[in-house]
Amino acid sequence: MSKILSTGFPADEVETAKRAFLQEQQVQRAGDEYLVRRLAQQARWGWTMARDADLERKISALTPEQVSSAVKRHVDLSSLTIIKAGDFKKAEAAQ
């Protein structure tokens, strides 16, 4: 996380992530069950599929600098809590 905050995301990773997200949206919309749930949710809030299309256009246009800037604005490492849990004795025995 500290490396991402200091150097940002590589351009190829941002492009890969954007393509993956947009492809996932397209695949999900191809499923009747997802599409019905999505349309019901949009109707509840007074939205249309144009809202989704606008969001996808905005995501497509994101630059690595914009993504890195957003992460820097919203991620505070001093407030991050890391918890390790599990049966460590059992894990050691398995090694």
Number of helices (H) and strands (E) in the chain: give both, helices first. Answer: 6, 0
Question: Is residue 37 scored above 90 in pLDDT?
Answer: yes
Residue 17, pLDDT score: 97
Tokens of 50: 């144009």
Question: Is residue 25 scored above 80 in pLDDT?
Answer: yes
pTM of the model: 0.73
Q: What is the pLDDT of residues 40-93, one digit of tens each?
A: 999 999 999 999 999 999 999 999 999 999 999 999 998 989 898 888 888 777
In angstroms, the CA 39 to CA 30 distance is 13
Tell me which residue of 59, 78, 82, 63 sits closest to 5, measured CA to CA: 78
Question: Is residue 36 scored above 80 in pLDDT?
Answer: yes
Tokens of 37: 């749930």
- Span 23-40, mean pLDDT? 95
Question: Is residue 31 scored above 80 in pLDDT?
Answer: yes
